[in-house]
Amino acid sequence: MSFEFLRPVDSNLVEKAASLHKSALGNQILFHSEEGMPDLSNVKMAIVGVIEDRRSQHPQDIPFHYNQVREEFYQLYSGNWNEQIADLGDIYPGESVDDTYFLLKSITEDLLNRSIIPIILGGSQDLAYAQYRAYDDYGQMVNLVNVDAKFDLGDTEQELCNKSYVGKMVVNEPYNLFNYANIGYQTYFNPQEEINLIEKLFFEAYRLGDISSDITLSEPVMRDANIVSLDVSSVAMPGVNPAMPNGFNGKEICALARYAGISDKVSSFGVYEIQDLHISKNSAMLVSQILWYFIEGVNFRKKEYNNSFLKEFTKFTVPLQDETLVFYRSELSGRWWVEIPNSKSFNNKLNKQSLLSCSHQDYLDACNHLIPERWYKACRKNEI
């Protein structure tokens, strides 16, 4: 069993947590302590730290500060939540980086098989590759959303690192990646050939300025995600990340985490590059609040995308010149979806989703004879 390689949460932290207010998270969650692993039968989310950054292009010889993050997190008060959380401790570096990848993949896969959402506190973001590989036996292709200033496609001929892990997902077998969406990219950090490749593969990319101007643009993208990987170096805040003059602010990054949590499909959530933060009470608190907002989102999931979802949806048909677009609006949440036409040439490994998340604006655009870009890219991807 893969859990035997996890180091328990520091005993001093567990003792401090027990002394907190009864409504604080430290008194609400279950711990993997020196006494053993907790009962996971009713756990919905599990925190796992991964102490690894040897494949970072700019490795830092500094200690990881997950305990500072945990200390701040435990002191936060839970909302009106019903879902049980566990903190399973940390994966320490293996003899090789590949050993660490294997452990993270195995533990993530084990949690997924138990219907538990892994919340990964990670070092360098190449660990997201191991998070993704946990879906190799998932039975269908998956969608990845990456909150990051860079695409991280990199040079796939070189060794896997934190700047090339997405490229490795695209080219390495087994081919599980159906869609990749980047939220918050900054053009000057990405070579033009990578920007062109994103377009060629019909992947999605949303500039920082566009998302900052309207954070709700990210909600339909998150709603279709299975895996979310968040690079905290995409945040620009004094005292948190002095090396990033432009980026998301604290409010925006927490909103993105909440959108990820609310998505009925997101089954794993990783927060990476934590070791690159300027460690302070402010930065540890920011990461703890990112976790808090993701967990709150999970607790407020509508669970409306299921076998009987159409009973709660209102159908809208929009005829265009060459297509007829069929939209659905949930009467439960007010959210929108658009139907994707069948494709006979579809990869038979893909359990094709007939509906694509969209916005009310996409419906209004279609009424004005404008094809929604997400719909167009999804249809073209079906044809590849």
Percent of the chain with pLDDT over 70: 92
Question: Looking at 13-103, which runs of residues are DSSP E strands?
Answer: 30-31, 43-50, 84-91
Encoding tokens for residue 354?
């007939």
Contact 189, 149 (CB under 8 A): yes
pLDDT of residue 239: 67
**pLDDT grade for 279, boundaries at 50, 70 and 90:** low
Segment holding 325, helix H or strand E: strand 324-330
pLDDT of residue 309: 63
pLDDT of residue 359: 96
Q: What is the mean pLDDT of residues 145-167?
A: 95
Residue 288 CB neighbours (<10 A)? 19
Contact 86, 74 (CB under 8 A): no
**pLDDT grade for 186, boundaries at 50, 70 and 90:** very high
Higher-confidence residue of 11 and 245: namely 11
How many residues comprise the chain?
384
* 108 contacts: CB under 8 Å, gap ≥ 6: 48, 118, 120, 130, 131, 134, 268
| Cα 299 from Cα 316, distance rounded (Å) | 30
DSSP string, 211-222: HHH-GGGHHHHH
Q: Where are the domains of the chain?
A: 2-299, 309-383
Percent of the chain with pLDDT over 90: 79
Q: Which of 4, 129, 127, 27 lies closest to 84 in space, CA to CA? A: 27
pLDDT tens digits, residue range 26-85? Answer: 999 999 999 999 999 999 999 999 999 999 987 666 677 899 999 999 999 999 999 999
Q: Which residue has the tokens 């009864």?
A: 22
pLDDT of residue 317: 96
Encoding tokens for residue 255?
């909103």
pLDDT of residue 237: 77
**pLDDT grade for 282, boundaries at 50, 70 and 90:** confident
Q: What is the mean pLDDT of residues 245-254?
A: 95
| Cα 147 from Cα 215, distance rounded (Å) | 12
Which of the given ranges, 310-314, 373-377, 379-383, has the highest pLDDT on average? 373-377
pLDDT tens digits, residue range 284-307? Answer: 999 999 999 999 999 999 888 665
pLDDT tens digits, residue range 313-370? Answer: 899 999 998 889 999 999 889 999 999 986 543 343 444 447 899 999 999 999 999 9
Q: What is the mean pLDDT of residues 247-274?
A: 97
Q: What is the mean pLDDT of residues 86-109?
A: 96
Encoding tokens for residue 132?
């993704």
pLDDT of residue 43: 98
Its CATH architecture, for the domain 2-299, is: 3-Layer(aba) Sandwich (3.40)
Higher-confidence residue of 4 and 272: namely 272
**pLDDT for 230 beyond 90:** yes
CA distances for 303 relative to 206, 211, 310, angstroms: 27, 26, 13
**pLDDT for 267 beyond 70:** yes
pLDDT of residue 363: 97
β-sheet bridge partners, residue 269:
119, 228
